[in-house]
Structure 1
Amino acid sequence: MPPRPLIIDCDPGVDDAVALLLAFSAPDTFDLRGITTVAGNVSGALTAHNACVIRSLAAREDVPVFVGANRPLLVAPVEAGHFHGANGLGDLTFAAPTKGPESTHAVAFLADTLSKAAPHSVSVAVLGPLTNIALALRANAAAAQGVREIVIMGGARSEGGNITASAEFNIYADPHAAAIVFSSGLPIVALGLDATHQVRTNPARMARLEALSSARARAACQLLRFGEHVERTLAHREGAPLHDPAVIAYLLAPELFETQAARIDVETDSPLTRGHTAVEFPLETPSATCWATRVHADGVFDLLTRRLA
């Protein structure tokens, strides 16, 4: 089977960087059409720079990077540098990227690429706020026809939030964009904190990764060790959750995940519960949206280890 078209929309970000390393390591599965970046974990300028850094580290300059929205649709910008370091890549050591982003805006690239693609052919992985995706769907309604699936890292139900008591960061950062995408009727798989908190580093899993010699594996280990430190000091929990890598793992091996059809509504009006995802199942009417409930965590780490080797 030929590699399937994939666009990754992201805001690197420590865990975004690990997700990109995993995606770059799967050319047999993914025809990576482009990386689009958005303001989120850090500023829009830094997320674009960081995507170029990881692309260069992975020696995948064949994949274009496009700079996207530098602020949410309506709310004030919020960043998470305290979880990702001042530059967004923790304490990762890296050389300057060998190639910069393209001149085309990410929203124009998304709208044009998806509208011209074969029907239902392009997977879209969203690792940050949904601003670019919402803008692309608004810019060209025909973009929807090219979407095979949108796999989103975002939302929380039973786990509660990680930016407020009820909201996960990516949805909180641009709730209006999330509401547009979740109400689009497109096929969506949402990997919220209920799923990604099940996929955490531990000593045995890190030992296997640290035994690898590839540059991609060494970089992933440095990023994950930084994530462990932040999780321990700020969240008082052991193990770094693989939020964004879980999206790429789902696209590579969906059998590692259990999902359930759901209706997902996003709170946009209340300042108290901004970005809350109301995830409801069972449903009275069919839904194209699925919510991830369980993850085979060891299987995800096996996959990450094999690919980064």
Structure 2
Amino acid sequence: MAKHRIIIDCDPGVDDAIALFLAFGSPDEIELVGITTVAGNVPLSNTTRNALRICALAGRADIPVYKGCANGIFPAPGRAGSVHGNDGLGGVDLPNAPFGVQSQHAVDFIIDTVRNAPGEITLCPIGPMTNIALALLKEPSIAQDIKEIVFMGGAAFRPGNSTPEAEFNIWVDPHAAEVVMSSGCRLTMFGLDVTGKAVVTRDRMAALRAQPNDVSQESADMLAHYGTGDPMLHDPCVVAHLIDPTLFSGVEARVEVECASPLTRGRTVAAVSERHRVGRPANCTVITDLDDARFFKLVFDRLRPL
């Protein structure tokens, strides 16, 4: 039996795709019970289609996909475009999946899955946390039954990437992030502090492209059209942590989200010292460092057999 039963809540997204491939390639450690989609990198119709296309490429029609929320609780201001391309996968021409989404809404799937397996399900949001927050608001009792929430989002000790203050996933729906932060669930945060160190260098890109299987080749093509400069594998850090937590290290902190100010919308404020917590307990493990060589070896090794 796998060590972790998880739901990946995502907005694919190039790095989301690689996070999903990493989960597919790690059956000894990961049981992926479902994929839920949310608007984020691109609109919901695209993120949902992309999740299905990713499953089809890897031959994983057995993993159910559930369509979630098309907007944040209070939608973010408009933006110029996505670093993931117009379709979310860098314009790489993956075929459409020959299967579709489940009829149940993602929020209800999350609630039912957690209630039916108390203490067993880890939620892995790697996009805006709208679906997770609405599940907690609709059925607050599930908070005590969630094993852990391991998420990609935020920037505790460095600038953001959507604004000087905010990382993209939190900026899109800061109110959802604050619901999650105040839920009382066990939380582990993979923000830009650590994911910004997971850089796909030219040598690493060449090593990925040298792997002969379709998943590795398509991943390399997607990464080649991802963002500007050196792309970073933000979202796969979440899955890699569940496979091998010794790859990472971090600190305990009190993390809160700025929701009110238009200038600092989505800022994740992390108080580490007792002085700054002012008597409030830590609510989150903030991951700050990784062994990047071992991380990339893990990712490429797990993609190779797919």
Report the TM range for the smaller structure's normalisation.
over 0.9
* Amino acid across the alignment from 2:200: T
How far residue 213 of structure 1 moved from its aligned partner, in angstroms, is 1.2
Contact 1:81 1:88 in 2 (8 A): no
Corresponding residue for residue 53 of structure 2: 53
Contact 1:19 1:248 in 2 (8 A): yes
Task: Determine the C-alpha separation between the residues in 1 that align with 2:224 and 2:75.
Answer: 33
Corresponding residue for residue 172 of structure 2: 173
Task: Determine the C-alpha separation between the residues in 2 that align with 1:101 and 1:80.
Answer: 29
1:135 aligns with 2:130: no
Change (3 A) 1:78 1:102: farther
1:280 aligns with 2:271: yes
* Amino acid across the alignment from 2:291: H
1:306 aligns with 2:301: yes
Any residues of structure 2 matched to 1:76-115 within 5 Å, and which? 76=76, 78=78, 81-115=81-115
Task: Determine the C-alpha separation between the residues in 2 that align with 1:35 and 1:81.
Answer: 25
Change (3 A) 1:194 1:13: same
When structure 1 is superposed on structure 2, of 133-142 and 62-71 the one drifting more is 133-142
How far residue 82 of structure 1 moved from its aligned partner, in angstroms, is 2.8
Contact 1:115 1:140 in 2 (8 A): no
When structure 1 is superposed on structure 2, of 160-169 and 89-98 the one drifting more is 89-98
CA RMSD of aligned residues (A): 1.5
Task: Determine the C-alpha separation between the residues in 1 that align with 2:3 and 2:272.
Answer: 33
Contact 2:144 2:185 in 1 (8 A): no
1:257 aligns with 2:257: no
Q: Choose which of 247, 253, 259 in structure 2 pairs with 1:268.
A: 259
Corresponding residue for residue 286 of structure 2: 291
Change (3 A) 1:78 1:145: farther
Corresponding residue for residue 160 of structure 1: 159
Task: Determine the C-alpha separation between the residues in 1 that align with 2:80 and 2:271.
Answer: 28
Corresponding residue for residue 213 of structure 1: 212
Corresponding residue for residue 6 of structure 2: 6
Contact 2:249 2:290 in 1 (8 A): yes
SS at match of 2:228: helix
Task: Determine the C-alpha separation between the residues in 1 that align with 2:197 and 2:135.
Answer: 32
Task: Determine the C-alpha separation between the residues in 1 that align with 2:273 and 2:247.
Answer: 22
TM-score (norm 2): 0.94
When structure 1 is superposed on structure 2, of 297-306 and 90-99 the one drifting more is 90-99
Corresponding residue for residue 148 of structure 2: 149
TM-score (norm 1): 0.93
Task: Determine the C-alpha separation between the residues in 1 that align with 2:193 and 2:84.
Answer: 21
* Amino acid across the alignment from 2:293: D
Deviations 1:4-59 (A, max 9, x none): 21100000111111111111111222111100000111111111110000010011
How far residue 66 of structure 1 moved from its aligned partner, in angstroms, is 0.2
Task: Determine the C-alpha separation between the residues in 2 that align with 1:83 and 1:168.
Answer: 14
* Equivalent residue pairs, number: 300
How far residue 3 of structure 1 moved from its aligned partner, in angstroms, is 4.3
Change (3 A) 1:81 1:16: farther
Task: Determine the C-alpha separation between the residues in 2 that align with 1:144 and 1:38.
Answer: 20
Deviations 1:221-275 (A, max 9, x none): 1111112xx222xxxxxx2111111111111111100011111110000001000
Change (3 A) 1:266 1:72: same
Corresponding residue for residue 39 of structure 1: 39
Report % sequence identity.
43
How far residue 76 of structure 1 moved from its aligned partner, in angstroms, is 4.1
SS at match of 1:147: coil
Task: Determine the C-alpha separation between the residues in 1 that align with 2:25 and 2:61.
Answer: 13
Corresponding residue for residue 192 of structure 2: 193
Contact 1:113 1:143 in 2 (8 A): no
